[in-house]
Amino acid sequence: MKLIEYQGKDLFRRVGIPTPNGVFATSAADVKSFIEKNPGSWVLKSQVMMGGRGKAGGIKFADDAAQGETLAKELIGKHLVSIQNPEGETVKSLLVEEKTNIESEAYIAITVDRDTRTPVFICSAKGGMDVEEVAEHDPDAIVKYWVDPAIGFSPYIARSLFFAAKLPAGYGKTFPKICAGLYDLFMDYGANLLEINPLVLTKEGTVIAADAKVDLDDNALWKHPDVQAWNKAAPSDEDQEAALAIGLGMFNYKKFADEAGEPPKEVGTIANGAGLGMGTMDAVKNAGGGASNFLDIGGGAQAELVKKSYNLVTSDPRVKSMFINIFGGITRGDQVALGIVEALKGDDVRKVPLVIRLTGTNAEEGRKILADAGFFPVETMDEGAAKAVALTKGAK
């Protein structure tokens, strides 16, 4: 689970890593009234998941409320595109933060080194927006320290990094506390990556995490239910919003754009289980077609959710046929079939030829019910994919 900057900074504060004072805002009016009450210089930072916001024009500086309002209007609704994310992302919210006077920008991160199977700190005195170029052209400016997890963190590690990276002296006092905080977070929250870029040394001599990039291991989220809940709170694109709106998890639905040289994406897909969903899309591709979407309907496949999912997928005008791939297991196939027939018989659904693969208990009875209702029941995934692709081309 990747966190947005303001969420990452929330975690930083829990372990004593200093962050700028700030407030989360979702409208220009909020920004205006906040700066009116708190006069000074503020940074408006687009709260999108992608990096490279500085270069993409997603970070602005405001010296008064009126300017804050104007810039906030400019940013909210803006579609940001960066080298890291060519597809881009639309800005829906801002972090308004006290502007820091930057003396120096360093880079500090901790991640898992898969080769050594240990945490590794990565540090550079040349932090900031061009750190990727530093990695490419000046690799010696980036230093690493592999931590033996059996021994854990000690301030010695931070001092080694500090000297090896030749961080300016002003970092010296705070740096070990920041590294210790990162290590605690990394272990306690089960992170894949924690990155502070830039770690700012201010002209006043304080050290502060000006940015936060946090990627947590989903398998460890249960340890912190409050953080797990953020997952639901922060859809970052239309597909995620649409999925949440019908009661799916936000990563359970994704629509795919057509691609040059690929067959048109005309087969809608619904499966129960992410793996089966991906397999279904592959099967459609193998059959010479294109899946318009990924949709994992989850366990159970309740009739009402089938209907909502069906409507979501067929709201894409490209969809000419639908392939529902349900692995029943102990769910009774005849009940699933009755539910689907009932759910899709109304006038409030767009009728496209519907291929359904049912397996599991009472699958045969289920297939009979579906055939009687005018759908196309099949036994195997490949058979279903071939049928769905053929139906996009007008086959009966």
5 binds Mn ion (CB under 5 A): no
Question: Per-residue x/- mask for ligand GDP, residues 188 to 207, rule CB under 6 A?
Answer: ---------xx---------
Name which of 197 and 331 has its Cβ closer to ligand GDP. Answer: 197
DSSP bridge partners of 42: 62, 98
Nearest by Cα to 264 from 135, 389, 139, 102: 389
Identify whether the C-beta of residue 367 lies closer than 8 Å to the C-beta of residue 332.
Answer: no
Among 15, 49, 81, 129, which residue interacts with ligand GDP (rule: CB under 6 A)? 129
53 binds, among Mn ion, ligand GDP, none (CB under 5 to 8 A by kind): ligand GDP
DSSP bridge partners of 61: 43
Looking at residues 54 to 93 of the shown chain, list those that interact with ligand GDP (rule: CB under 6 A). Answer: 54, 59
φ, ψ dihedrals at 376, nearest 5°? -115, 90
DSSP bridge partners of 323: 269, 355
The C-alpha atoms of residue 252 and residue 235 are separated, in whole angstroms, by 12
The C-alpha atoms of residue 370 and residue 368 are separated, in whole angstroms, by 5
Q: What's the token pair of residue 52?
A: 């490279």
Give the shortest CB-205-to-ligand GDP separation in angstroms.
15
Name which of 69 and 105 has its Cβ closer to ligand GDP. Answer: 105
Nearest by Cα to 158 from 148, 168, 172: 172
Q: CA dist 210 to 121, 200, 232, 336, Å? A: 18, 6, 25, 52
Active-site positions?
107, 195
Among 5, 30, 105, 211, which residue interacts with Mn ion (rule: CB under 5 A)? 211
Residue 235, classed as helix, strand or coil, is: coil
Name which of 129 and 274 has its Cβ closer to ligand GDP. Answer: 129
Helices vs strands, H then E, count in the chain: 14, 20
Contact window for Mn ion (CB under 5 A) among 11-19, 62-70, 134-142, 205-213: 205-213
Name which of 197 and 331 has its Cβ closer to Mn ion. Answer: 197
Give the shortest CB-109-to-ligand GDP separation in angstroms.
12
135 binds ligand GDP (CB under 6 A): no
100 binds ligand GDP (CB under 6 A): yes
343 binds, among Mn ion, ligand GDP, none (CB under 5 to 8 A by kind): none
Contact window for ligand GDP (CB under 6 A) among 47-55, 183-191, 260-268, 346-354: 47-55
Among 1, 43, 209, 369, which residue interacts with ligand GDP (rule: CB under 6 A)? 43
Name which of 141 and 349 has its Cβ closer to Mn ion. Answer: 141
- Beta strand 207-209 with 79-80 is unpaired
Q: Which residue is nearest to ligand GDP (CB)?
A: 54
Strand residue runs (E) in 280-382: 290-291, 293-295, 321-327, 354-359, 376-378
Identify whether the C-beta of residue 363 lies closer than 8 Å to the C-beta of residue 292.
Answer: no
Give the shortest CB-16-to-Mn ion separation in angstroms.
21
DSSP bridge partners of 62: 42
Among 46, 47, 100, 197, which residue interacts with Mn ion (rule: CB under 5 A)? 197
Binding site for Mn ion (CB under 5 A): 197, 211
Binding site for ligand GDP (CB under 6 A): 43, 45, 51-54, 59, 99-100, 102, 105, 128-129, 197-198, 210-211
